[in-house]
């Protein structure tokens, strides 16, 4: 395929590079990031989108997505597909899909899970919203960039799945860190706690695959001084998106609300900015009961 790729940052660059390595002709654009190997750089987003079969965007937020969509969609050919892999609010995803439909362009919102490591290794999971036809057209690209793609429903469904998943992840990571901090104060060895919980009813991805305690369980950012695999800043963004969506549909999410508050305090008023989201453990370990 001929592919345009807008947004060549930490996630977009390795995704675009993997598509180029697989033999696709990839034209990229980014305001600041360099062009990855195998990708031809265009001088504007519209130029990168013109004449392509699929145009992929990987952007920071819904406002930027809608701005870029206003530039690229009019430049795209009728029948092409806009594949947005950003994590944005549901309303922005649906607004862009509606704009695309009005121009005869397919639209798929497909935020990802797996972080920079997954983008580099081509093992991302995609949660996709959009028509069956548009999803089928981009499915071969999902197979290159990731290990799994789930078609979740109509426009916006991919974003809905992502924010629901990450609301669970944020809250689960906090309570996992709380449990380790409590175990420390009760005199329970961290490795012993991991051995019990990881094979018991406390099993979770946060414990078993991404353990926040250094030297316990499989390798994780905790073993690298909490340098981000998934930054606390990004977790806060996703938790706020979940709360925005919950407010829009009048959903009661008390645990999600509290998780957003805790990550806001950690990132904006403490030392969480630029650290992995599992660095909530050393934060809690040094705190007493409020």
Q: Where are the domains of the chain?
A: 2-155, 160-286
Q: How far apart are CA 230 and CA 270, in angstroms?
A: 18
- DSSP reduced 3-state for 151: strand
Q: How far apart are CA 190 and CA 181, in angstroms?
A: 9
Q: How far apart are CA 238 and CA 254, in angstroms?
A: 16
pLDDT attached to residue 65: 97
Question: Mean pLDDT for each 10-residue chunk of the chain (290 residues)?
Answer: 96 97 97 93 97 97 96 97 96 97 97 90 96 97 97 96 96 98 97 97 96 97 94 96 96 98 98 96 92
* Cβ count near 272 (within 10 Å): 24
Active site residues: 162
Chain-centre distance for alpha carbon 69: 19
Chain-centre distance for alpha carbon 290: 32
Place of tokens 């990987």: 58
Cα end-to-end span (Å), the chain: 57
User: What backbone phi and psi angles, to 5 degrees, belong to 172?
Assistant: -65, -40
pLDDT attached to residue 117: 86
pLDDT attached to residue 236: 97
pLDDT attached to residue 114: 87
| pTM confidence score | 0.90
Q: Which residues contact 236 (CB under 8 A, 6 or more apart)?
A: 260, 263, 264, 266, 267, 268
pLDDT attached to residue 31: 93
Level-2 CATH architecture, domain 160-286: Orthogonal Bundle (1.10)
pLDDT attached to residue 239: 97
Q: Which residues contact 187 (CB under 8 A, 6 or more apart)?
A: none
pLDDT attached to residue 285: 95
- DSSP E strands: which ranges in the chain? 2-6, 25-29, 40-41, 54-57, 81-84, 106-109, 112-113, 124-130, 146-153
pLDDT attached to residue 229: 86
Chain-centre distance for alpha carbon 29: 20
pLDDT attached to residue 193: 97
CA within 13 Å, CB half, 210: 24
pLDDT attached to residue 115: 84
What the block records as the tokens of 108 is: 């798929």
pLDDT attached to residue 87: 95
- CATH T-level fold of 2-155: Rossmann fold (3.40.50)
């Amino acid at each position: 395929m001929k592919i345009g790729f807008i947004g060549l940052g930490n996630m977009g660059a390795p995704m675009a590079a993997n598509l180029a390595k697989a033999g696709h002709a990839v034209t990229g654009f980014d305001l600041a990031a360099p062009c990855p190997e195998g990708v031809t750089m265009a001088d504007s987003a519209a130029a990168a989108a013109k004449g392509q079969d699929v145009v992929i965007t990987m952007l920071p937020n819904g406002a930027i997505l809608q701005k870029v969509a206003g530039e690229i969609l009019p430049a795209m050919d009728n029948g092409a597909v806009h594949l947005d892999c950003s994590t944005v609010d549901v309303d922005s995803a649906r607004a862009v899909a509606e704009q695309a439909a009005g121009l005869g362009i397919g639209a798929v919102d497909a935020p990802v899970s797996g972080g920079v490591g997954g983008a580099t290794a081509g093992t991302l999971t995609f949660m996709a919203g959009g028509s069956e036809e548009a999803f089928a057209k981009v499915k071969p690209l999902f197979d290159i960039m990731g290990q799994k793609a789930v078609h979740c429903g109509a426009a916006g469904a991919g974003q809905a799945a992502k924010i629901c998943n990450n609301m669970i992840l944020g809250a689960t990571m906090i309570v996992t860190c709380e449990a380790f901090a409590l175990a420390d104060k009760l005199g329970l060895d961290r490795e012993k706690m991991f051995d019990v919980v990881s094979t018991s009813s406390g099993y979770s991805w946060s414990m078993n695959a991404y353990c926040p305690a250094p030297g316990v369980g499989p390798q994780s950012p905790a073993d690298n001084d909490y340098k981000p695999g998934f930054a606390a800043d990004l977790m806060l963004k996703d938790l706020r998106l979940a709360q925005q969506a919950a407010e829009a549909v009048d959903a009661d999410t008390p645990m999600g609300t509290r998780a957003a508050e805790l990550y806001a305090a950690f990132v904006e008023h403490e030392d969480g900015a630029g650290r992995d989201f599992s660095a909530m453990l050393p934060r809690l370990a040094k705190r007493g009961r409020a």
